[in-house]
Amino acid sequence: MNVVSGMVMPKSIAINMCLWLTVLLTLPGCLSTLPGIPEPPTGTYRVTTVTTYNRGQRTFLLHVPPNYHADKALPLVVVLHGAFSTGRQTETETGFSKLADSKGFLVAYPEGIGLFGLLQHWNAGHCCGKAADDQVDDVGFLSEVIRSVRSKLAVDPGRIYMAGMSNGGMLTYRFAAERSADLAAAAVVSGAIGSVVDQGKEPWKLPQPESPVPIIAFHGLVDDSVPANGGVSPRKKGKRSYLAVADAIDFWRNADGCGAMPVATLSNNGSVKRQVWDNCRNGSTVEAVILSGWGHQWPAPWFTDRLGTDDPLRSFDATLQIWTFFSRFHRLNPGVQ
Can you tell me the distance from the alpha carbon of 160 to that of 163, in angstroms, rounded to the nearest whole number? 11
Cα separation values, 331 from 48, 156, 167, 181, 280, Å:
28, 10, 26, 8, 15
What is the CATH class of 2-331? alpha beta
β-strand partners of 287: 216, 276
Other Cβ atoms less than 10 A from the Cβ of 167: the count is 30
199-214 tens-digit pLDDT: 778 888 899 999 999 9
Say if residues 64 and 41 touch (Cβ distance below 8 Å): yes
Q: Give the distance from CA 13 to its chain's centroid.
A: 23
Can you tell me the distance from the alpha carbon of 204 to that of 214, in angstroms, rounded to the nearest whole number? 22
Can you tell me the distance from the alpha carbon of 41 to that of 240, in angstroms, rounded to the nearest whole number? 45
Report residue 18's pLDDT band, with 50, 70 and 90 as the boundaries: very low
Res 14 pLDDT > 80: no
Interhelix angle 87-94/96-103, rounded to 10 degrees, is: 60
Res 61 pLDDT > 80: yes
The mean predicted confidence, pLDDT, of the chain is 89
206-252 tens-digit pLDDT: 999 999 999 999 999 999 999 999 999 988 777 889 999 999 999 99
Res 291 pLDDT > 70: yes
Residue 1 pLDDT:
52
Can you tell me the distance from the alpha carbon of 273 to that of 292, in angstroms, rounded to the nearest whole number? 8
Amino acid 78 reads V
Q: Hey, where are the domains in the chain?
A: 2-331
Q: How much is the pTM?
A: 0.90
Greater pLDDT, 115 or 59: 59
